[in-house]
Structure 1
Amino acid sequence: MAEHETVVRWDDGSDVGPGTDELSGLDYMRKVVAGELPESPMSSHAALHVVSAGPGEVSVRCSPDESHFNRIGSVHGGLMCTLLDSALGGAVHTTVPAGTGFTSIDINVSYLRAVFPENAPLLCNARVTKPGRRVAFAEGEVVDARGKTVATATSTFLVFALEDRPRRRG
């Protein structure tokens, strides 16, 4: 059995500086797309890249490598769920005002097809179905390189004031 190693590098955002809490979610996500703000650490680990962001909509590309495969050599369902959660959350992010955060309450994923390496990259298109001041709802689908829908999801998000979040210790 061959052993492999993956090195993951990410920007923890500690050097982003003051002011990001003052950006609307849409402005924040557009800066991520433009490369002016970093992707999340999870995005680096899961090979995710936000490719577009508009009001209530986000698209995220995933380029899985061997470290994202399951025992039979297809893309692990957990990676697909992470892709969907990231895109749906990003779509919700575009609807919230400055100083507002969000977190997943639930996610319901339907896996429609196995995804093998030759069917990558994957693209997840997500949209908000109902924005809200306390709770928001979103849906999305993952399409493979052949244009086939391979998974869909719906999700509910808790929306909260960022001032309520605990501060990260350095």
Structure 2
Amino acid sequence: MFQRRAFLIAGLAAATPAFGEASGVPLPPALDTLSDLPLETFAGAETTLGAHLNPGPTVISFWASWCAPCVDEAGYLSTIRHRYAPERLNMIGLNVELVANEEGVQRFLRQARPNYLQLRADMATYHAFGGDALQLSLPRLFVFDANGAPAAAFGAMNVQQTNRVIASVVRS
């Protein structure tokens, strides 16, 4: 009986695809190729992704004001921020709006109350992370290891897998 369970578990583990593949979201390129992407602060200053990255693991979340699941994800990521200090885990939220909606963005921020860095991005940034050229599908969450290699990509919040992946990249 024990052997049969061991084979079953081993077979399931072998059949489980990488986190990006499992969620249907492709893994993005490494962070070093994305670090020069132009972004904007909410105060309107031009910046780049790399300007906000310290050495270590990184979580990047794409969101928009009209995305209801993004509110839940931002709230959950705020609990993750409480668990891991900024020196141990970079966390950045990237707002992508297809149509300018400052009122909606401010409402989102008041509702979600993210406690991690928020920046503005555009569709070119979304595409650089592997997003579909024809549509904006949100939320999108990317986890990178301490070397900047993509570790996971999620299209919908999966608390257990997200916890597991973030814990593993922070431990490494």
Class of the TM-score when normalised by the shorter of the 2 chains:
under 0.3
TM-score (norm 2): 0.26
Q: Normalized per residue, which structure has more helix?
A: 2
Q: Normalized per residue, which structure has more strand?
A: 1
Higher relative contact order (CA 8 A, sep 6+): 2
TM-score (norm 1): 0.26
